[in-house]
Structure 1
Amino acid sequence: MKIVFKDLKRGVVKVVPETTDDIWTLYTVIQPGDLVRARTVREVHFGERGSGRSSRVPMTLTIRVEKTEFQAFTTRLRIRGLVIEGPEKYGVLGKYHTINIDLGRELEIMKPRGWPRALLEKLESSSLQPAAVIVAVDYDEYAVAIARGQGVRVLAEGGLHLPGKDDPSREEKMREALTVIAKTTAGIVEREEPLLVVVAGPGTLKDALAERLRPLLPREVRLYVDHVSMGGHAGVLEEVRRGVMRNALREAASIRAEKFIEEFEKLLAREPCRVAYTIDMVMEAARMGAVEKLLVLDELLHHPDPEVRKRVDELLRLADATRAEIQFVSIEAPAGAKVKSLGGVIAILRYALQLQGKACS
């Protein structure tokens, strides 16, 4: 979740959801009575209804929320309520409207009575993960930055100070400089614990740096190489604007799901009473407050069967009420197929439980 703006005195927070987890967080945070402002599209009739033409007009509206729901067949949040602010010429005030929130769509949430601490912490914690380290390098300068939902912060930068192209020591000095940058980056990765690293720059220098950096990174950290036109701070910002890093961060959710699966499979083999799978089994554990971590196939959020969606919604709310860690995984991710084969929902439990339909021995 990217937090764009925050004014708690007015009860206003502006955010951009970047993963399915963020969409779910918004679903739990936005409540009836809240005000939501976003860019949307509305059918507008011109002339007398039935005799005039109509057109879908883009506009910015503020609605007083009455209901939120996931839209079937899409990972999209629907927010419905009465319009309280909008262009007067279209006569939308006081009418109902549904704002659809997709990944990457900015929205402003205002809570007239202020933000409860628990909801604000949930929103802020969603903005902390996943994280990426970005390294932008060219023959003149480099910068290493940490990118999280709330923004980008440069942690190290400097010049390469290379001799001229005709200097025989240039290649050796370049190798030394890349080694220093690689070690600096590895140190930042160790401290910040990102899920991925993006090395960006023009030409082949970025590839040489990535080659030196790869063996210094933990096995679970993904390394990406991308092209930008310059190094240094400007190169970091160019990488962020390109959107490649954002796509990589979305993929990081898949990385976390794979780590979840690894932990689940180890417990399934050694302590089978510490895990649960299928909606029925996990629901039983959730009602006892036993779910510590929950991984849900995101297609269940928009399952065509409304009864399935209702049960998944109940399960998620139970898990959320007992402060379980909730993650989502796409069917297109490698871990998604495994989760689907286990009923679309798997959980790691706080303590061993003998659940119906599962033997623990």
Structure 2
Amino acid sequence: MITKIIDDSTVSFLVEEPDDLLTLRRIIKKEDKIISDTTRVIKQDKDYSRPDRGERIKIRISLEVEKIALDAVFDKLRIHGTIIESTNEAVSKGLHHSILIRIGDSLNVVKKKLQPIELKLIKSKDESIGFVLIAIDKGDCGIGKLKGTHLELMQNMYSGSSGKQYKTNFNIQAFFENVSKALDTTLKENDGIVIFGPGETKRQFANFLAKTPIAKSHKIETIDGIDSGGEDGIYVFIKSKAMQQILGQSKLAKVSSILEEVMIRANNKSRKFTMGFEETKKANEFGAVESLVFSEKIIQTHDEDEVVEFLNDVESKGVKVYALDASTDIGLQVSGLGGILSLLRFAVDT
């Protein structure tokens, strides 16, 4: 998420990933003001005829928040409230309206005063590190964008080779050029590039990239041990030890380490971890939580307002909190373990 603090009560947001919608859900409260572009149907009443169905127009409004809720899969945030300002005279103040925030949308949030936990959430999202993952072989290439804990896959690219017997006119440089052009559409400033896959194609492609403008503004790393290309290679990498080593500063690598440590403690019959909402909530009351991971399942199966209040309380105590969605196997694992788990500083009788 791209954020800009305009003053001590106003923040501008540009949503880039599903996790950003959850962050906004934790920041926006009732009676806050939202300024955003939206659409609304304007109906024209004509003399001696039925009212028409109306025309949907784009407007910019200020909305006083009355209710806010996440979509079940974290891909939309619905904000309902009362219009207090509008760029169109046909849209009166005092009307009720809902704004649907999706990935790619921007909005301003105006609060009476930004609270410390809200500032912490805003700044932590600003520091999110992005990585472009490339699983390449002579036959195909998979490209994934990892931002925070969300993985977005591009469509597989194919080289045009025919298995082990390559066509006589097969040109791997042309394949590399096509992959490089695809990278231009997904790379953002400061994104790192990680290249892997079977054989030597990964190193050949890394050498190719080193001679392009991409290498001047992005760090490129090549790793061994991932023997799959394409989309399958991306998923193999995400579950590998290499991911934790190479992407050690990424949120997904940190979450993977936490999940692994929970499994170790469970196997050793240690009580210094929790699984499930009630267990974790109890541990938080004692100030025992060291780090916490949760998935979209916890929002789907518990009262949303209660979960949001709990997450903000945990993070206000200095606990590291990580959100996951179903785009990775790690997110699915956390959902399978009750949707929330934590590592504890000390054992608590839950």
TM-score by length of 2: 0.62
In structure 1, C-alpha distance between the alignment counterparts of 2:192 and 2:269, rounded to whole Å: 31
In structure 2, C-alpha distance between the alignment counterparts of 1:292 and 1:213, rounded to whole Å: 32
Secondary structure of 1:273's partner?
Answer: coil
Partner of 2:257 in structure 1? 259
In structure 1, C-alpha distance between the alignment counterparts of 2:192 and 2:262, rounded to whole Å: 22
Partner of 1:145 in structure 2? none
In structure 1, C-alpha distance between the alignment counterparts of 2:89 and 2:317, rounded to whole Å: 47
1:257 aligned partner, one-letter code: V
Shift of 1:215: 4.8
In structure 2, C-alpha distance between the alignment counterparts of 1:313 and 1:119, rounded to whole Å: 12
Say if 1:197 and 1:222, in contact at 8 Å, map to a contact too: no
Shift of 1:70: 1.8
In structure 1, C-alpha distance between the alignment counterparts of 2:279 and 2:70, rounded to whole Å: 23
Partner of 1:273 in structure 2? 271
Secondary structure of 1:272's partner?
Answer: coil
Shift of 1:268: 2.6
Mind listing any 5+ residue stretches in structure 1 that lack a counterpart? 135-147, 150-193, 225-248, 356-361
Q: Which has the higher helix share?
A: 1
Partner of 1:197 in structure 2? 193
Matched, 1:42 2:40: yes
Mind listing any 5+ residue stretches in structure 2 that lack a counterpart? 134-146, 149-189, 196-202, 211-219, 225-240
In structure 1, C-alpha distance between the alignment counterparts of 2:74 and 2:19, rounded to whole Å: 14
In structure 1, C-alpha distance between the alignment counterparts of 2:307 and 2:117, rounded to whole Å: 22
Say if 1:287 and 1:318, in contact at 8 Å, map to a contact too: no
Equivalent pairs: percent with the same residue? 21
Shift of 1:220: 3.1
Matched, 1:219 2:242: yes
Shift of 1:84: 1.8
Say if 2:129 and 2:191, in contact at 8 Å, map to a contact too: yes
Partner of 1:190 in structure 2? none
In structure 2, C-alpha distance between the alignment counterparts of 1:2 and 1:222, rounded to whole Å: 27
In structure 1, C-alpha distance between the alignment counterparts of 2:19 and 2:251, rounded to whole Å: 8
Matched, 1:336 2:331: yes
Partner of 2:295 in structure 1? 297
Partner of 1:228 in structure 2? none
Partner of 2:83 in structure 1? 83
Secondary structure of 2:271's partner?
Answer: helix
Q: CA RMSD in A?
A: 3.8
1:197 aligned partner, one-letter code: I
Shift of 1:311: 5.1
Partner of 1:99 in structure 2? 99
Partner of 1:207 in structure 2? 206
In structure 1, C-alpha distance between the alignment counterparts of 2:102 and 2:270, rounded to whole Å: 38
1:214 aligned partner, one-letter code: T
- Which structure 2 residues correspond to residues 47-66 of structure 1 after superposition, within 5 A? 47=45, 51-66=51-66
Shift of 1:206: 5.0
In structure 1, C-alpha distance between the alignment counterparts of 2:131 and 2:10, rounded to whole Å: 27
Kindly provide the CA deviation profile for residues 120-163 of structure 1, in whole angstroms up to 9, marking residues without a partner as x. 233112211234599xxxxxxxxxxxxx99xxxxxxxxxxxxxx
2:102 aligned partner, one-letter code: D
Say if 1:300 and 1:344, in contact at 8 Å, map to a contact too: yes
Secondary structure of 2:51's partner?
Answer: coil
Shift of 1:47: 1.9
